Amino acid sequence: MSPPGAAAFGKTHVVSPIGKHQATIVWLHVIGENGSSWSQDLENLPLPNVIATVIYAGFDVMDLTGDGPDDVEELDMTAAHVANLLSNEPSDIKLGVGGFGMGAGASLYTATCFALGKYGIGNHYPINLTAVIGLSGWLPCAKTLVGKLEEEQIKNRAASLPILVCHGTGNEATYITLKNIEMFYPSLGEKSSQALISLGFKKTTFKAYSRYGHYRIPEEIDDLCAWLTFTLGLEYIYIYIFLIVKNLLKSHCQPAWLTFTYISVILGDSVKS
């Protein structure tokens, strides 16, 4: 499948690693969001070994109930663009895709392309994914996938792929679809994770956050960082220091300037080594 023009996915924002490059993640944001704000947020995460590439998840939301049609053509275009961005990475680099809202939908759809070894229209899917993340999203094409992941190779690929699905229990948002105005309900995240597991994606992890709505929250981002660090086998000193410092600042155990001086010294020495 030929990748679509990059212009369809907006400006590409790249967050470069400050440590040894170990993984590359393509992050998909939703319409109305600013890719630069996501890139700034990702730049501040304790993931110094990860390149993050931020683009718009360019597909139409046709239905959120699971009973209606999905825009397979545009989902394929998004998955192909992600694959194209990841295709030039060195062979020893671990590859992943993640997103929020629509971006989560496109990411979880890409996971199914990896398992099937092909896009929805049948063309070969070329990338070996090692991590998929969906925040406040859903699994497109869930019903049409039933019975399609029975071949041994497909089952093995599905079973080997780590997937993180996060959702707020107060997550209710409005999407204007091609058919009408749809409500995005809290149960979609949990239902999607259950569907993934039933389809054979055995390494699916679901995390729910009580009272939180359709927006990213610190607890969720902390879980995302920890999950990526251990799933991809990244250098974990950064995430440990980050969480320790965060707890120290929260409890006011020591002045902020002293904490940040301490962490700067450690990270500086670690990066140099």
Question: pLDDT tens for residues 150-182?
Answer: 999 999 999 999 999 998 775 444 343 334 333
Residue 197: φ, ψ to 5°: -65, -45
Residues 115 and 13 in one domain: yes
Neighbours of 33 (CB within 10 A): 17
Domain annotation covers residue 1: no
Residue of 18, 42, 22, 14 whose CA lies nearest to 264: 18
Given a cut of 80, is residue 41 above it in pLDDT?
A: no
Residue 198 belongs to a domain with what CATH number?
3.40.50.1820
Are both 226 and 264 inside the same structural domain?
no
Same structural domain for residues 146 and 189?
yes
Long-range contacts of 220-224 (CB under 8 A, 24+ apart): 220/135, 220/166, 220/168, 221/41, 221/45, 222/246, 223/164, 223/166, 224/98, 224/133, 224/135, 224/164, 224/166
Residue pointed to by tokens 């229990």: 169
- Residues 12 and 70 grouped into a single domain: yes
In this prediction, residues 219-235 reach a mean pLDDT of: 87
Percent of the chain at pLDDT > 70 equals 64
The closest of 45, 35, 53 to 89, measured between CA atoms, is 53
Domain annotation covers residue 84: yes
Q: Left if phi > 0, otherwise alpha if psi is -120 to 50, otherwise beta: which for 136?
A: left
How distant, in Å, are the alpha carbons of 177, 237, 250, 251, 273 from that of 266?
A: 49, 9, 20, 21, 11
85 and 215 together in one domain = yes
Domain annotation covers residue 164: yes
In terms of domains, do 125 and 248 share one? no
* Both tokens assigned to 144: 């049409």
Same domain, 152 and 79: yes
Q: pLDDT class for 87, splitting at 50, 70, 90?
A: very high
pTM: 0.78
Could you tell me if 97 and 161 lie in one domain? yes
Cα separation, 265 vs 252, in Å, equals 20
Q: 44 and 122: one domain?
A: yes
Structure tokens of 53?
């590439």
Residues 35 and 156 in one domain: yes
Both 249 and 228 in one domain: the answer is: no
The sheet that has 94-100: what strands, in order across it? 13-15, 50-56, 23-29, 94-100, 131-135, 163-168, 204-209
Token readout for 188 is 């979609």
Range among 48-52, 93-97, 145-149, 238-242 with highest mean pLDDT value: 93-97
Instruction: Classify residue 41: in a domain, yes or no.
Output: yes
Contacts of 139 (CB under 8 A, 6+ apart): 105, 108, 109, 112, 192, 195, 196
* 129 and 257 both lie in a single domain: no
Query: pLDDT-derived band of residue 241, with 50, 70 and 90 as boundaries?
Result: low
In sign, the C-alpha dihedral spanning 236, 112, 43, 247 is negative
Say whether pLDDT at 53 is over 50: yes
Least confident of 10-14, 57-61, 139-143, 147-151: 57-61
Amino acid at the residue 93 = I
Helix (H, G, I), strand (E, B) or coil at 202: coil
| Residues spanned by the domain of 75 | 6-234
Residue 233: pLDDT above 90? no
Reported confidence tier of residue 132, pLDDT bands at 50, 70, 90: very high
What is the pLDDT averaged over residues 253-273?
A: 42
Residue 256: pLDDT band by 50, 70, 90 thresholds? Answer: very low
Which pLDDT score, from 0 to 100, does residue 1 have?
A: 53
Quote the number of domains for the chain.
2
Instruction: Give the 3-state secondary structure of residue 214.
Output: coil
pLDDT at 181: 36
Using the structure block, give the residue that is written with the tokens 């212009």. 7
